[in-house]
Amino acid sequence: MRAVRGGWWRTGLGVVFTALMLFPVYWMVNVSFTRDQDMRKSPPYWFPVRGTLEGYRAVLEQQGPYLATSLVVGLGTVALTLVVAAPAAYSLARLRPRGGGVLSFVLLIAQMIPGIIMAMGFYAIYLSTGVLNTVPGLIVADSTLAVPFAVLILAAFMSGIPGELLQAARVDGAGALRTFWSVVLPVSRNSVITVSLFAFLWAWSDFVFASTLDQGGAHQPITLGIYHYIGNNNQQWNAIMATAVVASIPATVLLIVAQRYVAAGVTAGAVKD
């Protein structure tokens, strides 16, 4: 009985709050369908009644390469993050390295360093090593957004794996590497997926590294695509907002898909206790 209380007026109020909060998102979608000649109309059309797909046509024609680059950068960041973070998390959670506590502390601190400062250091290094304006360079920089988070989240999950499971693997003669690969990783699937989704989203959304390390690159991500659109004093706001809508797709997918995985991870931990 206590689960649902307060009746419909709370639901009504909740819908109003949510609508107010999401109004900018709605407005982005609405503007993306607005015709050029209606763009400066006052008062504006509140609904896309005389909508156009002109903006989305512009996205298809002009933003394809940017979207492809973002996809590659995102996937590359996920791969690099997992390769570095998963073994480290296993070690911190299960193998009790001396100095592991200090390392966890360092990772916690690393998350707090402003991106703009990392960008300047990377710029100096990339310029002298010739990695500036390359996709691999951007992947490495973007992965710094995700690696500390990934190690800490995966370690938290892996320390919850039942000890008997790892014991059984050892009895069967599996070494640390074998245990990690065929027991720990498969069991940690949900947390690996969660970490991957966040790493992808952060790389996809990154603007600081893209605008400093890939400003003159042949392959630029979608955040720079939008930025150039605005910077060119482009008045085609339907195209800008259509690009923004398309760039928001991964976030939407994450919200729908990862909600389940985050919840799965939380309940898995709760069941174990």
Partner 1 sequence: MSAGRATRTPVRPARASVPTRGRELRAARIRSGQWAAWAFLAPVMVYLLAFYVYPLYRNVDLSLRDYTVRSFVRGDAPFTGPANYGKVFADATFGPALWHTVVFTVVSLVFQFTIGLALAVFFSRNFRLSATLRALFLVPWLLPLIVSSSTWSWMLNSESGVVNAVLTAVGIGPVNWLTSPDWSLWSVTIANIWIGIPFNLVVLYSGLQAIPSHVHEAAELDGASGWQRFRLVTFPLLRPVSGITLLLGLVYTLKVFDIIWIMTRGGPSDASTTLATWSYRLGFGNLLPSFGPGAAVGNLLIVIALVFGLVYIRAQRRLGAA
Which parts of 59-98 interact with partner 1 (CB under 8 A)?
83-85, 87-88, 90-92, 95-98
Sorted by sequence, the CB contacts under 8 Å of residue 101 that are 6+ apart come out as none
What would the two tokens of residue 183 be?
């027991």
Residues between 100 and 139 with contacts to partner 1, criterion CB under 8 A: 100, 103, 105-106, 108-110, 112-125, 127-128
Residues 204-223 that bind partner 1 (CB under 8 A): 204-205, 207-208, 211-212, 215, 223
Minimum separation from the CB atom of position 60 to partner 1 (A)? 18
Answer whether the bond into residue 43 is a cis peptide, omega within 30°.
yes
Q: Name the minimum Å distance from CB 208 to partner 1.
A: 6
- Residue span binding partner 1 (CB under 8 A) among the ranges 59-67, 160-168, 175-183, 186-194: 175-183
Using the contact rule CB under 8 A, the part of the chain among 15-23, 61-69, 160-168, 187-195 near partner 1 is: 15-23
114 or 163, CB closer to partner 1?
114
Residue 49 sits in the site that holds partner 1 (CB under 8 A): no
By beta-carbon proximity to partner 1, the closer residue of 89 and 190 is 89
Closer residue to partner 1 (CB): 58 or 118: 118
Q: Which of 78, 152, 226, 239 binds partner 1 (CB under 8 A)?
A: 226
Least distance from C-beta 218 to partner 1, angstroms? 19
Q: Is 43 in the site for partner 1 (CB under 8 A)?
A: yes
Q: Measured from the CB of residue 57, what is the shortest distance to partner 1 in angstroms? A: 19
Closest by CA to 85, choosing from 147, 8, 25, is 147
Indicate the residue among 108 and 165 with the shorter CB distance to partner 1. Answer: 108
CA 75 to chain centre: 11
Question: Which of 18, 159, 167, 182 forms a contact with partner 1 (CB under 8 A)?
Answer: 18
- Between helix 135-158 and helix 64-90 the angle, nearest 10°, is 40
Contact 204, 143 (CB under 8 A): no
Cα separation of 187 and 195, whole Å? 14
Nearer to partner 1 among residue 78 and residue 241 (C-beta): 241
How far is C-alpha 60 from the geometric centre of its chain's CA atoms? Answer: 23
Question: Closest separation between CB of residue 272 and partner 1, Å?
Answer: 18
Site for partner 1 in 249-268 (CB under 8 A): 251-252, 254-255, 259
Beta carbons of 29 and 245 less than 8 angstroms apart: yes
